[in-house]
Amino acid sequence: MNLDSIIRGRRSVRKYQSRDIPDPVIADLLDLARYAPSSMNGQPWYFIIVRDDRAKGRLVKIKNKYCPAEKSMYKADFVQDAPVVIVVCVDHERSFNREVENAVLATANILLGAYEKGLGSVYMSAYKRDDPEVAEEIRRALDIPDGVDPITMIPLGYPDETPEPKEMGLLDEVIFHETFGKK
């Protein structure tokens, strides 16, 4: 698959086969993740591979507890059935005030790499800008020390659903020249 077909073909997958994911596949993915750019090349990433059912259960509970009303159709229960959940964390000091950016750039590589390897995944956040309790609870659940922030959590599994291709508007409607609104 070339980059275009990977980027265009990837969709969020929330239903997984019970089949496990071999460790080397996960290691490959995390190696890709850390080739992302990072502020000041700080490479601040830590990755926690969660396979334990009780740990997954704790993540589900935290995500559901803090799920805002507008996103309530996206309950986190399905995370329990993902064979693997990757929690992407960043070292605060080596992030140079760009914790979220650094974590999301690495996460983007995980999402694309997963699809290329035949895995399904979905982007989920492990913190909330306006409620530090979300990251705090995840921190406690996974023994994450102060100075390291969980930012995203990515369930992974061989897909057990085939999402429809994404419906897109006209590209011309979102591109401007020189200033906003100028065609």
Of residues 26-55, those binding its own copies (CB under 8 A): 27, 30-32, 34-37, 39-41, 43, 45-52, 55
Q: At a CB cut-off of 8 Å and minimum separation 6, what does 76 contact?
A: 59, 60, 63, 64, 67, 124
Site for its own copies in 51-80 (CB under 8 A): 51-52, 55, 68, 70-71, 74
Q: By CB under 8 A, tell whether 128 contacts its own copies.
A: yes
Q: What is the DSSP letter of 50?
A: E
Among 101, 136, 158, 160, binds its own copies (CB under 8 A): 101
Among 69, 97, 146, 164, binds its own copies (CB under 8 A): 97
Site for its own copies in 105-124 (CB under 8 A): 105, 107-109, 111-113, 116, 122-123
Distance CA 20, CA 17 (A): 8
- Using CB under 8 A, count the residues that bind its own copies: 73
Smallest gap from Cβ 156 to its own copies, in A, equals 14
CA-based nearest residue to 63, from 122, 120, 16: 122
